[in-house]
Amino acid sequence: MTDKVGFIGTGIMGLPMASNVIRAGYPVWVFARTQDKALPLIQVGATLCDSPRQVTEHADVIITIVGDTPDVEQIVLGDQGVIEAAAPGKVLVDMTTSSASSARNLATRLSEKRMDMLDAPVSGGDIGAREGTLSIMVGGNPAVFERVKPLFEAMGENVVLVGDHGAGQVAKACNQLLVAQHMYATAEALLLAKAAGVDPGRVREALLGGFAASRVLDCHGQRMLNRNFVPGFKAKLHQKDMRIVLQTMGDCHLDLDGTKLAAEGINRTVDAGYGELDTTALLQVLEARNHLKLS
Amino acid sequence: MTDKVGFIGTGIMGLPMASNVIRAGYPVWVFARTQDKALPLIQVGATLCDSPRQVTEHADVIITIVGDTPDVEQIVLGDQGVIEAAAPGKVLVDMTTSSASSARNLATRLSEKRMDMLDAPVSGGDIGAREGTLSIMVGGNPAVFERVKPLFEAMGENVVLVGDHGAGQVAKACNQLLVAQHMYATAEALLLAKAAGVDPGRVREALLGGFAASRVLDCHGQRMLNRNFVPGFKAKLHQKDMRIVLQTMGDCHLDLDGTKLAAEGINRTVDAGYGELDTTALLQVLEARNHLKLS
């Protein structure tokens, strides 16, 4: 029997993800704080609800993909929230990038009502969401994961159960700290080439065949060379994600100075007024410090 | 007509590279400071010479792959050096990782004798050298590059002319700063996963499908998980290469703090007594600071 699916959050990510779920044949109930944003889904057959609670009453699997950790907590635990209609057999799937500790806490709260939860943040941006090629990092119970997997596969390609509750969010934190540091390194490498009188585009090409190769050098490096700072993934969202990384690091009593440096770089990108640009606008911060333009 | 090839330097990289050149059918003349090291090449048909000058008298293309910038300068400009037998039509190909400014200087000095030069450092380690799968980053004249290209293809797979004299060394500097920062980021990500109670190996797998993917997360990440610090690429050699990176950065009046942080990490790796281990032993420095073992 096909699960009935609830969707809470219809932003730049949630809208195309929900569209792919509807296209895959799932019946969908939807809630959005700004109801207009759900209209494109209503037009293709989704049913509009007036609260997370109402979504949960109708659906078996309730997907949340909203702004930040407190938004998820409000949707689940707040007035007219998911928990008010929690019931055995239902599953909350939070695909927001939020904190692992919050994911564990919500899982515990829902388990008291015998409702399951998976944390399942994504990587791949709005393009991945539209094309159904997201990477999905999942934390939770293996049997629940297997049940929801076909639904994940309507939205993504690389779907991995990383571990228990919170493990998906931990993997996403690791993802974001790697991307931030790889961006920092890519910008520095391209600037060094430029300053040394060598074509940075040729250097990028030469290095993509060797040990320095990364998806960031490939994709974000080309963006930097093109000065294409149209998001993509906004710097202010990367900043929010790095706050979660630093919080997780602090919770674990770790001192990771590469991560701190990269997070500061993204803070400076937002402070410089580039928060609405793609996170690769970090390049402009490093350019300004070095009095050098890449192209 | 097949070029006659000279090989100066028969260490962990030079020996297998020269073997591949002999296997491809080139006649080879060889010089090594420690003559015993050249014996395996003599046994397969190479001719032993007693100086770089003598190698240059016999060969058309003279390859140097030695320890560091001053070694290359000594071989070319010193007593019984390459320059004493320099002649029009001959090409010096320096495959050592050395400084771009030195490469440009040597090219100028040789051009006064109408001898050509390419700087052509490699990436891919001793495994790449043995298997003939090195990445080769080349700086110099396009016509000279085309002439030497078949010889490069006996040693490597990804052979790119990056630009004019010194451009190969600049690309290699960019390569090394990227690898150093990617290693730093990989170690931090794996430690964060571990500290947060999630299997770091599962996180690595999950992230290899997305934007955080890198060759370093793939290869060096697996080495770290296995605690396999058998080189590979020794930390003390990475330290030497990072010195060249910092020198190039200084020459260009750049302040690249991600690069500085990663270079400090590798210095601390050597200072901790891990200089003869693989450069991924950096993990142990970050582990000690955070009172946490990855595995």
**For position B1, what pLDDT does the model report?**
65
Best of A104, A134, A162, A211 to mutate (most B CBs within 10 Å, chain B): A211
**For position A2, what pLDDT does the model report?**
85
Positions of B annotated as catalytic residues are 172
**For position A228, what pLDDT does the model report?**
97
DSSP string, B175-208: HHHHHHHHHHHHHHHHHHHHHTTS-HHHHHHHHT
Positions of A annotated as catalytic residues are 172
Q: Which residues of chain A have pLDDT under 50?
A: none
For residue A249, give the nearest of B170, B192, B210 by CB distance: B192
**For position A156, what pLDDT does the model report?**
96
- Give kind and range of the element (H or E) at residue A64: strand A61-64
Express each pLDDT in A202-225 by its tens digit.
999 999 988 999 999 999 999 999
Largest CA distance in chain A: 65
Express each pLDDT in A70-102 by its tens digit.
999 999 999 999 999 999 999 999 999 999 999
Express each pLDDT in A43-80 by its tens digit.
999 999 999 999 999 999 999 999 999 999 999 999 99
**Chain A positions in Cβ-Cβ contact with residue B216 (cut-off 8 Å):** 211-212, 214
**Chain A positions in Cβ-Cβ contact with residue B171 (cut-off 8 Å):** 193, 198, 202-203, 206-207
Query: Does the B170-290 domain belong in CATH 1.10.1040.10?
Result: yes
Neighbours of B98 (CB within 10 A): 28
**Chain B positions in Cβ-Cβ contact with residue A209 (cut-off 8 Å):** 135, 157-158, 160
Across the interface, do A212 and B186 touch by the CB < 8 Å criterion?
Answer: no
Across the interface, do A202 and B256 touch by the CB < 8 Å criterion?
Answer: no
Predicted TM-score (pTM) of this structure = 0.95
**For position A124, what pLDDT does the model report?**
87
A18: helix, coil or strand? helix
Does the complex come out with an ipTM higher than 0.85?
yes
For residue B258, give the nearest of A188, A206, A256 by CB distance: A188
Question: Token digits for B184?
Answer: 């730093």
**For position A105, what pLDDT does the model report?**
98
CA distance A269 to A267: 5
For residue A177, give the nearest of B188, B214, B248 by CB distance: B188
Across the interface, do B211 and A175 touch by the CB < 8 Å criterion?
Answer: yes
**Chain B positions in Cβ-Cβ contact with residue A157 (cut-off 8 Å):** 209
Q: A181, A185, A225, A182: which is closest to A205 by C-alpha?
A: A225
For residue B212, give the nearest of A175, A192, A212 by CB distance: A175
Residue given tokens 């090449």 in the structure block: B41
**Taking the domains of chain A in order of start, what are their residue ranges?**
5-164, 170-290
Across the interface, do B178 and A207 touch by the CB < 8 Å criterion?
Answer: yes
**For position B127, what pLDDT does the model report?**
87
Best of B164, B184, B194, B203 to mutate (most A CBs within 10 Å, chain A): B203
Q: Which residues of chain B have pLDDT under 70?
A: 1
Question: How would CATH label the architecture of B5-164?
Answer: 3-Layer(aba) Sandwich (3.40)
Across the interface, do A175 and B286 touch by the CB < 8 Å criterion?
Answer: no
**For position A127, what pLDDT does the model report?**
87
Q: B205, B247, B275, B276: which is closest to B98 by C-alpha?
A: B247
